[in-house]
Amino acid sequence: MSLNDETLEALKADLLEAFSDEGPNKEAFVERLSEIRSADIGEILEALIEEDDALSTTIGVLDLLSDERAANVLGYLPGDNQLDVVGKLPDGQVLTLLEEMSSDERADLFNLLGDDRREALLRRMAHREREDLKRLASYEEGTAGAIMTSDYVAIASGMTVSQALMRVRQTAPDAETVYQLYILAGDGQLIGTMSLRQLMVARPGALVDDIMIKDVISTAVDQVQEDVARIVARYDLIALPVIDSDNRMVGIVTHDDAMDVAESEATEDIHKGMSIGALESGISRVPLWSLYRKRVLWLVLLVFANLFSGAGIAYFEDTIALEVALVFFLPLLIGSGGNAGAQAATLMVRGMATGDVGVKDWGRMLGRELLVAGALGITMAVAVTPIGIMRGGEAVAMIVALSMVTIVLFGSLIGMCLPFVLERFKVDPATASAPLVTTLIDASGVVIYFSIASAILAGA
Amino acid sequence: MSLNDETLEALKADLLEAFSDEGPNKEAFVERLSEIRSADIGEILEALIEEDDALSTTIGVLDLLSDERAANVLGYLPGDNQLDVVGKLPDGQVLTLLEEMSSDERADLFNLLGDDRREALLRRMAHREREDLKRLASYEEGTAGAIMTSDYVAIASGMTVSQALMRVRQTAPDAETVYQLYILAGDGQLIGTMSLRQLMVARPGALVDDIMIKDVISTAVDQVQEDVARIVARYDLIALPVIDSDNRMVGIVTHDDAMDVAESEATEDIHKGMSIGALESGISRVPLWSLYRKRVLWLVLLVFANLFSGAGIAYFEDTIALEVALVFFLPLLIGSGGNAGAQAATLMVRGMATGDVGVKDWGRMLGRELLVAGALGITMAVAVTPIGIMRGGEAVAMIVALSMVTIVLFGSLIGMCLPFVLERFKVDPATASAPLVTTLIDASGVVIYFSIASAILAGA
């Protein structure tokens, strides 16, 4: 069973006690730690650093663990905490930890270090390790290269099944996954793949080239990470091989890393939907200054966009003076349009992000939205009509009901179309955020409402 | 490489031609199909059914494939399309397809069938298959039981490593994954697990009981599926074993199914954030009536909630009469508060969904939000002040600036706290949607703005 919150809290308390000056022997804690999973120790340490700034305790705990275990736990900490810890350790110990980390986590941590530290560490590494690390650390963040690992099982073309099985056994401790094997030609080109399952049931003397799948699903090293995650999800892969521009294999992205990418991309999309820029870490730990910067840009832009609504109201001052009861319904009408429009935009943006909706579907989506938004507008108009009659009589009720249908329909269509328009102009459709859509519809709503009012009042 | 949209389109066109009356022989298509992955054929067929209602073509394509392949492709189609296809096939063929499907997909399709069809099919199944299917089909949707498969590799306690390896080879074609093995006691209790990797490097004569990991991460059969996906992600699992209340193993949830759950849960959260209920399928294919129902509820509720804003405006009619320029700034001020508040709510709701933020973090989050929202409010007040002066003079500028800071701060705190309050009362925090938060802040904003205006204008 995985640990629940209470167990984690209890463990943290025990750990703090074990490391306090008058506490029992730290060594008594070793056995207890051995029963806890690295992911859970990571979470406890993260909470410790966050709440109590207990960096020395964290390092004490890492010292109690084997090198491999310590590297594993370190890998579960957020980047800035990894940096805090590594900053307190001598080069030799950092080197050991780096060696034990998986190659993708190693490269991530390495990229966070200062130039001096990097140079010092690189000098002490073996040539091959150094080149591998420099290569992995060089890929741009957010690409396949940055999330891949070079610890995979490569099988040379021409091997027999039993030779390949031997190779799997030899590389088992180091590879991130041994369950998918990649067959490489002499020049490193990826020419086929097979699952360990296939290998195990094959005749030992057969050549891997004869049983491998030649049509390999792979991705380019500079592919954006959300596409990488989508390919892994679509084809239910355990790992996706990454190739360079010459079709040479350079690494794999494993299913667990793809799942992490999918989660962080979903978070980014949710935040974008509210006009918040991509945060570099979770909301509980992102620096306040960064959080301010990621929220302020659109908020200020929308202040100015909202001026149009005000200008609309000012323009129709005479209409308002004719029938003051109209102002009562203003927030309700533009609010309703904004809500319906934000719904429509959100549905399209998410549909595009998951691949459910493409630009080619625009026409069909428009037709569907027309029907649904029409029905929604009529329903809401019916709901608001009695209040219109009570508050301002039949003329006002008619104005409000008619405006409701028009604004909800118009707002929904704006909200639905905006993501397509943005996509068409190569802007991220997620820019069609709820605040932006709502603000656009507010301004249009004012104009629609008072135009309808002017017409009906003039006719009356 | 995976197929891109153009290739898919071309294939679809070729397929339609091959199946048209005057087209070339269908059999010529078999070879072409053999080179395309099941997921891609599924997507082509889905598009076909969607756009052209080409059900007979779909069935024709399935007929060209081997039973195993056809079952695979069928599994990639959405439920209602599966139902369309199966509705056109005789019981015997459906039975063959069901047999070839993985046990979780088989149960899903079975659950969609009508009672008569189900009875007819069950009668023709072998006893063991029938019991397995009835059991899997009985779990409530959205739980571990409903997404698990019973095709896993169980190893009897007491087996040697070489016996276990033999068992893996035997079950390889049927099991969903052979890479994680589960060791069961005589009564079916799950007592340990080991990876195939561990098994392969172990001494052939050793007992699995001596090398297995006894502390197994597992989940209860009635656990909600989003928690299941979170456990898989947290511990980087290939599969998560599912146990019943007596600790007997009943199935596994594989990493790919967990990833699908995580994606659909993210979509649901995004929709909830805009007050849209959970849709039963993607936006491109959900029935219009259902889409209407999932959107209308909150829209109508919020129409009534918006009445408070109107009532606020009506209440302050005299203040407005004193200084008509104030109305110009109304949409801007309440819009800004709503935007900032919706941001704060969204950040918290997503933080809670990913486990980054818990109820215990409430105090710390409040402190952080106070600082950030204060800074945001001041920035926006500065932005709006020149416009205040231009439009209504210094008094109006002061009212507007002061209101901006107050409304943004107040709105952000409302938005931030609401998810915690909901969670505390066991309501889904995602109910704190952008439309709800915005509507609440609109009403409060009206009161705050005109109260400040009354006070300052009375003093002037």
* Interval B72-83: pLDDT, tens: 899 888 888 888
Strand order in the sheet with A239-243: A219-220, A239-243, A249-254
Q: Which helix (H) or strand (E) holds B193?
A: strand B190-195
- Residues of chain A contacting B365 with CB distance shorter than 8 Å: 283-284
Determine contact: B361 vs chain A, CB below 8 A. Answer: yes
Cβ proximity of A311 and B328 under 8 Å:
yes
In tens, the pLDDT along A318-331 reads 888 788 788 889 98
- Residues of chain A contacting B438 with CB distance shorter than 8 Å: 335, 338-339, 438
Neighbouring CB atoms inside 10 A of A29's CB total 20
Average pLDDT over residues B330-351: 94
Please identify among residues 150-209 of chain B the ones whose CB lies closer than 8 Å to any CB of chain A. Answer: 168-169, 172-173, 178-179, 196-197, 200-201
pLDDT range class, residue A145, cuts 50, 70, 90: very high
Q: B368 and B236, same structural domain?
A: no
Looking at A90, A114, A138, which one is the last position of a domain? A138
Q: Which of A321-330, B138-147, B379-388, B401-410 comes out lowest in average pLDDT? A: A321-330
Average pLDDT over residues B140-153: 91
CB pairs under 8 A between A and B: 325
pLDDT at A453: 93
pLDDT at B417: 96
Whether pLDDT at A3 is above 70: no
Sequence letter at residue B44: I
Encode A205-240 in three state secondary structure. Answer: CCEHHHHCECCCCCEECCCEHHHHHHHHHHCCCCEE
Nearest Cα of chain A lies from the Cα of B119 at a distance, in angstroms, of: 32
Whether pLDDT at A164 is above 90: yes
Measured at the CA of A205, the angle between CA A204 and CA A208, to 5 degrees, comes to 85
Residue B101 located in a structural domain: yes
3-state secondary structure of A13: helix
Whether pLDDT at B144 is above 50: yes
Whether pLDDT at A314 is above 90: no
Q: Which of A383-387, B303-307, B402-406 comes out lowest in average pLDDT? A: B303-307
Determine contact: B286 vs chain A, CB below 8 A. Answer: no
Whether pLDDT at A34 is above 90: no
Phi-psi region of A426 (alpha: psi -120 to 50; beta: other; left: phi over 0): left
What DSSP letter does each residue of A304-324 carry, written as one string? Answer: HHHHHHHHHHHHTHHHHHH-T
Return mean pLDDT, chain B. Answer: 88
| Nearest C-alpha neighbor of B383 from the set A312, A307, A276 | A307
Determine contact: B6 vs chain A, CB below 8 A. Answer: no
Q: A17 and A124, same structural domain?
A: yes
pLDDT at B53: 67
pLDDT at B2: 45
User: Distance between CA B207 and CA A426 in Å, rounded?
Assistant: 60
Please identify among residues 86-125 of chain B the ones whose CB lies closer than 8 Å to any CB of chain A. Answer: none
In tens, the pLDDT along B230-254 reads 999 989 999 999 999 999 999 999 9
Q: A307 and A218, same structural domain?
A: no
Residue A441 located in a structural domain: yes
What DSSP letter does each residue of B295-347 carry, written as one string? Answer: HHHHHHHHHHHHHHHHHHHHHTHHHHHH-THHHHHHHHHHHHHHHHHHHHHHH
User: Distance between CA A228 and CA A235 in Å, rounded?
Assistant: 11
| Nearest C-alpha neighbor of A305 from the set B293, B320, B189, B384 | B384
User: Distance between CA B278 and CA B293 in Å, rounded?
Assistant: 10
3-state secondary structure of B10: helix
User: Distance between CA A221 and CA A239 in Å, rounded?
Assistant: 14
pLDDT range class, residue A25, cuts 50, 70, 90: low
Determine contact: B211 vs chain A, CB below 8 A. Answer: no
Whether pLDDT at B1 is above 50: no
Cβ proximity of B99 and B72 under 8 Å:
no
Name the residue among A237, A291, A327 with its Cβ closest to that of B313: A327
Q: A374 and A313, same structural domain?
A: yes
Determine contact: B53 vs chain A, CB below 8 A. Answer: no
Q: What is the DSSP letter of B426?
A: T
Whether pLDDT at B225 is above 70: yes
Task: List all residues 6 or more positions away from A350 whose beta carbon is below 8 Å from its beta carbon.
Answer: A269, B267, B270, B271, B283
Task: List all residues 6 or more positions away from B170 whose beta carbon is below 8 Å from its beta carbon.
Answer: none
Query: Which residue in chain B is spatially nearest to A438 when comparing CA positions?
Result: B335
Determine contact: A414 vs chain B, CB below 8 A. Answer: no
Whether pLDDT at A336 is above 90: yes
Residue B276 located in a structural domain: no
pLDDT at A259: 94
Q: A235 and A161, same structural domain?
A: yes
**Total domain count for chain A?**
3
Pairing of strands B239-243, B219-220: parallel
3-state secondary structure of A172: coil
ipTM of this model?
A: 0.85
User: Distance between CA B303 and CA A341 in Å, rounded?
Assistant: 14
pLDDT at B3: 56
Name the residue among B238, B310, B443 with its Cβ closest to that of A328: B310
Residue A282 located in a structural domain: no
Q: What burial class does residue A187 get, using C-beta atoms within 10 Å of its C-beta: 0-12 exposed, 13-18 middle, 19+ buried? A: exposed
Query: Tokens at residue B115, please?
Result: 């009672």
Domain that holds residue A133: 5-138
Q: B293 and B382, same structural domain?
A: yes
Determine contact: A365 vs chain B, CB below 8 A. Answer: yes
Sequence letter at residue B215: D
Cβ proximity of B212 and B192 under 8 Å:
yes
3-state secondary structure of B132: helix
Name the residue among A39, A274, A383 with its Cβ closest to that of B234: A39
Sequence letter at residue A289: W
In tens, the pLDDT along B275-328 reads 999 888 888 888 899 999 999 999 999 999 988 998 998 898 888 878 878 888
What DSSP letter does each residue of B354-412 carry, written as one string? Answer: TTS--GGGHHHHHHHHHHHHHHHHHHHHHHHHHHHHHHHHHHHHHHHHHHHHHHHHHHH
Determine contact: B69 vs chain A, CB below 8 A. Answer: no
- Residues of chain A contacting B302 with CB distance shorter than 8 Å: 335-336, 339
- Residues of chain B contacting A161 with CB distance shorter than 8 Å: none
Q: A387 and A345, same structural domain?
A: yes
Residue A209 located in a structural domain: yes
Looking at A138, A166, A186, which one is the last position of a domain? A138
pLDDT at A181: 94
Whether pLDDT at A24 is above 70: no
Whether pLDDT at B24 is above 60: no
Measured at the CA of B281, the angle between CA B276 and CA B287, to 5 degrees, comes to 80
Hey, CA dihedral for A332, A380, A319, A411, is it positive or negative? positive
Quick check: A300 and B379 CB within 8 A? yes
Average pLDDT over residues B380-391: 94
pLDDT at B103: 85
pLDDT range class, residue A1, cuts 50, 70, 90: very low
Place of tokens 């990876």: B195
What CATH number does the domain containing B200 carry?
3.10.580.10
Query: Which whole-number Å values give the CA distances from A140 to A131, A148, A200, A277, B126, in the listed order?
Result: 17, 12, 37, 19, 55
Cβ proximity of A360 and B9 under 8 Å:
no
Q: B46 and B173, same structural domain?
A: no
Hey, CA dihedral for A270, A275, A277, A280, is it positive or negative? negative
Average pLDDT over residues A298-320: 89
What CATH number does the domain containing B51 carry?
1.25.60.10
Sequence letter at residue A123: R
Nearest Cα of chain B lies from the Cα of A119 at a distance, in angstroms, of: 32
- Tell me the HSE value of A316 on the side-chain side, using a 13 A CA sphere: 26
pLDDT at A4: 63
| Nearest C-alpha neighbor of B327 from the set A313, A87, A267, A19 | A313
Looking at A138, A172, A199, which one is the last position of a domain? A138
Nearest Cα of chain B lies from the Cα of A118 at a distance, in angstroms, of: 29
Pairing of strands A152-156, B177-184: unpaired
User: Distance between CA B347 and CA A288 in Å, rounded?
Assistant: 13
Determine contact: B422 vs chain A, CB below 8 A. Answer: no
What CATH number does the domain containing B295 carry?
1.10.357.20
Query: Tokens at residue A251, please?
Result: 């690494």
pLDDT at B172: 73
Q: A32 and A129, same structural domain?
A: yes
Residue B373 located in a structural domain: yes
Name the residue among A39, A169, A270 with its Cβ closest to that of B350: A270
pLDDT at A326: 86
Residue B261 located in a structural domain: no
pLDDT at B392: 85
Sequence letter at residue B147: I
Residue A270 located in a structural domain: no
Task: List all residues 6 or more positions away from A54 whose beta carbon is below 8 Å from its beta carbon.
Answer: A16, A19, A48
Phi-psi region of A355 (alpha: psi -120 to 50; beta: other; left: phi over 0): left
Average pLDDT over residues A410-432: 93
Average pLDDT over residues A205-228: 93
Place of tokens 């306690």: B157
Whether pLDDT at B101 is above 50: yes
User: Distance between CA A229 and CA A256 in Å, rounded?
Assistant: 10
Quick check: A340 and B299 CB within 8 A? yes
Whether pLDDT at A104 is above 60: yes
pLDDT range class, residue A2, cuts 50, 70, 90: very low
User: Distance between CA A281 and CA A300 in Å, rounded?
Assistant: 23
- Residues of chain A contacting B271 with CB distance shorter than 8 Å: 346-347, 350
Over pLDDT 90: what percentage of chain B?
Answer: 51
Quick check: A295 and B372 CB within 8 A? yes
Task: List all residues 6 or more positions away from B84 whose beta carbon is below 8 Å from its beta carbon.
Answer: B49, B55
User: Distance between CA B331 and CA A337 in Å, rounded?
Assistant: 14
CA dihedral A31, A33, A35, A37 (to 10 degrees): -160
Neighbouring CB atoms inside 10 A of B420's CB total 20
Query: Tokens at residue A155, please?
Result: 């099988």
- Residues of chain B contacting A232 with CB distance shorter than 8 Å: 259
The better pLDDT of the pair A49, B406 is held by: B406
How far is CA A143 from its chain centroid? 13
Q: A157 and A105, same structural domain?
A: no
- Residues of chain A contacting B380 with CB distance shorter than 8 Å: 299-300, 303
Hey, CA dihedral for B384, B385, B390, B392, is it positive or negative? positive
Q: What is the DSSP letter of B186?
A: T
The better pLDDT of the pair B21, A91 is held by: A91
| Nearest C-alpha neighbor of A376 from the set B289, B101, B164 | B289
Q: Which helix (H) or strand (E) holds A193?
A: strand A190-195
Q: Which helix (H) or strand (E) holds B169?
A: helix B161-171
Whether pLDDT at B85 is above 70: yes
Task: List all residues 6 or more positions away from A45 whose beta carbon is below 8 Å from its beta carbon.
Answer: A58, A61, A73, A77, A81
Average pLDDT over residues A15-31: 68
Return mean pLDDT, chain A. Answer: 88
Neighbouring CB atoms inside 10 A of B236's CB total 17
Cβ proximity of A342 and A438 under 8 Å:
yes
In tens, the pLDDT along A271-302 reads 999 999 988 888 888 889 999 999 999 999 99
Q: B212 and B306, same structural domain?
A: no
Q: A450 and A347, same structural domain?
A: yes
The better pLDDT of the pair A128, B368 is held by: B368
Determine contact: A442 vs chain B, CB below 8 A. Answer: yes
Average pLDDT over residues A307-328: 85
Pairing of strands A177-184, A190-195: antiparallel
Query: Tokens at residue A63, please?
Result: 């010292």
